[in-house]
Amino acid sequence: MDLGGAAAGRIVDRYRRFNNAEKPERRGMKRMGLIVGVLVLGGIGAGFVALRAWPMINMVETGRTPEYPDVQPRTYQRPMGEVFDAAMHAVSRLSRWTLVGYDETHGEIRVEARSRLWRFVDDITIRVTDREGATVVDVRSASRVGRGDFGQNARNIRRFQDELETQIGSGAAH
C-alpha cells in the first residue's frame, strides 16, 4: 500500500478544487461588474428613447413650429407699450436670461438664455406688435449649437409666456 501517494493525490486534488472554486471576493466583483454593465446599457437605452421623445430641431417660433402646436403667439387687449414693458419685466425676472438689446419703437427684445447644466446659449427674440387693435407677442428661440435642443427652445418660450402672464396680471407694466 502506498499511503504517501494517496495522500499526495488528495492534496493535489484539493489544491485543484480550491483554485478552480470561486473565491467570495471574485464572485462579488463579477456580480458588481454585471450590475454596472446592466446599468450602463440601461442608461444608453434610456438615452436613445429620450432622443426620440423630442423632435430634431434647434429653433422654435410661436405659431410656426408644427412640432409644438401648443406654442402659439399671445394676444392681449392692452396697449402695445404696456405689453412691451411687461415683456421687459418678464425677461428681467427669468433666471439665466440676459438682455442683449431692445428697440421699443419696433417692439423687439433680444435675449440670451443659458441652459442650467451645460450653459449652452439660446438666442431669443421677442416681438411685440399691434395687430388690428390688439397687441400680439411672438417669440423665437434658437440654439446656437447642435441640431437638436431636447425641447429646450419650446421650454424657453413657455417660461417667458408664463412670466409675461404673471407680469401683465400683476400690473407690473404700469
pLDDT in tens, 13-52: 766 666 665 566 666 777 777 787 777 777 776 655 555 5
DSSP the chain: --HHHHHHHHHHHHHHHHHHSPPHHHHHHHHHHHHHHHHHHHHHHHHHHHHHHS-S-SEEETTT-TT-TT---EEESS-HHHHHHHHHHHHHHSTTEEEEEEETTTTEEEEEEE-TTT--EEEEEEEEEEETTEEEEEEEEEESS-S--TTHHHHHHHHHHHHHHHHHHHTTT-
pLDDT in tens, 60-75: 999 999 999 999 999 9
Domain at 59-170: CATH code = 3.30.530.50
| pLDDT tens digits for range 95-117 | 999 999 999 999 999 999 998 88
Model pLDDT, residue 31:
75
% of the chain surpassing 70 pLDDT: 79
